[in-house]
Amino acid sequence: MRSQEANSSLLNRVSELPWGRWYRQTLAILRLELKRNLFSTRAIPIYLLAVAPVLLFGVRVLVPLPERVVNNLGASSVAYAIMYRSFFLRFAVFFGCVGIFMNLFRGELLEKSLHYYFLAPLRREVLVIGKYLSGLVIAAILFGGSTVLSYLLLYAPSGVTSAREYLLMGPGLAHLGAYLGVTVLACLGYGSVFLAMGLFFRNPIIPAVVILGWESINFLLPPMLKKISVIYYLESLCPVPVPQGSVTILADPAPAWIGVPGLLCVTAIVLVIASLLIRRLEITYSNVE
């Protein structure tokens, strides 16, 4: 009985510490933002972006294909790798993160509701982390689910037996895990950047277009400049290499032990900068257009 009382007293003291209070506030913001953003009309374009790859491979299942194409699982794997890099990462996930993370603060500025958070007894750094986590959860669920479904649909025309053998006894399941991990890392890295842009730029679309242009010409950049981009590390972590074009400037891919910690560090640095600068943010709704 005394040990239970001691443990209860210890838990109460821990919960009263500042970081314990910040943890509870972060969870409260996370729950509130998930309810607000998952079911808002602004989320409709995000859902469409997440569903687009699934629809593409769904059409592939419905269209009759030659037997030599259906049974060539290696060629199908390369086809998915090309689609994943060119469409999924560079378009669907990129613009999905723009729509999700830029609106976390920018949307409330337009709706003139951000001041309610600022009036609450809440550290602004906690607000940044809570909102970022809500966006990350939404993006990871939508685009992670899209990654899994589109990958499974890729092998559906081959039949249940062939698909099962490739996934369970071949490299298929490991490749799926790698693609899913890259998708989550993409949401994590792009999300932090676009959250900061939505917070500190009056018109965040312009810097987003600049980043899109930089990421799009990554294959033309010299090796040193390639490393100053998110897409370079994401593509380095993809499990299946793709044929390079004749105008592509080749560079050695970043190993996983550099790519993963590098993206995590960039995300942490951007969030720290956003948390420090938000302390001086003053809301002036008259300047919001």
**If DSSP states are collapsed to H, E and C, what string results for the chain?**
CHHHHHHHHHHHHHHHCHHHHHHHHHHHHHHHHHHHHHCCHHHHHHHHHHHHHHHHHHHHHHCCCCHHHHCCHHHHHHHHHHHHHHHHHHHHHHHHHHHHHHHHHHHHHHHCCHHHHHHCCCCHHHHHHHHHHHHHHHHHHHHHHHHHHHHHHHCHHHCHHHHHHHHHHCCHHHHHHHHHHHHHHHHHHHHHHHHHHHHHCCCCHHHHHHHHHHHHCHHHCCHHHHCCCHHHHHHHCCCCCCCCCCCCCCCCCCCHHHHHHHHHHHHHHHHHHHHHHHHHCCCCHHHCC
Give Cα 11 to chain centroid, integer Å. 35
- Residue 11, pLDDT > 60, answer no
Residue 118: per-residue pLDDT = 82
Greatest Cα-to-Cα distance within the chain, rounded to the nearest angstrom = 75
pLDDT tens digits for 213-248?
A: 888 777 777 777 777 788 888 988 888 887 665 445
Measured CA distances, 7 to 12, 19, 24, 226 (Å):
9, 19, 20, 53
195 within 8 A of 277, measured Cβ to Cβ: no
Residue 18: band (very low, low, confident or very high) from pLDDT cuts 50, 70, 90: low
The pLDDT of residue 258 is 83
Top-ranked range on mean pLDDT: pick from 141-145, 209-213, 252-256: 141-145
| Choice between 35 and 70, residue whose per-residue pLDDT is larger | 35
What pLDDT does residue 167 have?
78
Taking only the tens place, the pLDDT of each residue in 45-104 is 899 999 999 998 888 777 666 565 556 666 778 888 889 988 999 899 999 999 999 888
Q: How many other CB atoms sit within 10 Å of the CB of residue 251?
A: 17
Ranked by mean pLDDT, which of 63-67, 154-158, 197-201 comes out on top? Answer: 197-201
Q: Identify which of 38, 199, 202 has the alpha carbon closest to the alpha carbon of residue 128.
A: 199
Indicate if the alpha-carbon torsion angle 36, 42, 44, 45 is positive or negative: negative
